[in-house]
Amino acid sequence: MKITPVPHGLEDLIGKSPGSRAPGLHMSDIYNDLYQDLEPKRYVRGSIPDPLRLEAGLSCESFLEEALKKRLGGERPDPFVSEEGIHFSPDLIIFNGSTRVGEIKLTWLSSREMPRGPANGLPPKFSKYLVQMMAYCHCLETPDARLIGFFINGKYEHFKSGNPELLAWDLHFSKREMDENWALLMAHARHKGLL
């Protein structure tokens, strides 16, 4: 047998979102900037995401969106614009008795601390997910969301990668939580000159 590595020719496709981004301020501009201030070692300002990790996330999102459309009546909505003119695009809008914002996350973080039963919150390392979902819920006037997490390393205990896990949670935010989250994002956006 003879094996010869060859260029795959996919460099220009890796890590590129399939849709075009509307001009203007996007919700991700605000919450990404906020977390660059809150956790500068984790969210490094000006850094470029690893294209292969980004592609893994985009691929997982695309696959799960299609599966959820068929099984749960979810759909990838067209992008929205808030009253303040901020663009945002949830991964899914799920209609099953109520309107629910759906977000799909692929991560190399451990799932070890994630709730396996009813809980009142997520571990702090996942707070950015909550900020994002609450912002979308606020704008769409629904308190309900679904987080779907694909954990590449599973529980990742004692420096051993575990089996991958696909987990999901329904979240219900209070009006106060959503209003406080929105006020924080808008104050940050004004302070940074984004708005």
Burial of 139 (0-12, 13-18, 19+ CB in 10 A): buried
| Per-residue pLDDT reduced to its tens digit, 144-194 | 999 999 999 888 876 666 788 999 999 999 999 999 999 999 999 999 999
d(Cα 55, Cα 61) in Å, to the nearest integer? Answer: 10
Q: What is the CATH number of domain 60-191?
A: 3.90.320.10
Buried b (16+ CB within 10 A) or exposed e, 82-110: beeebbbbbbbbbeeeeebbbbbbbbebb
Domain ranges of the chain: 60-191
Which stretches of the chain score pLDDT less than 70?
Answer: 4, 8-20, 69, 72-76, 158-161
Q: Tokens 């004692």 belong to which residue?
A: 158
pTM of the model: 0.85
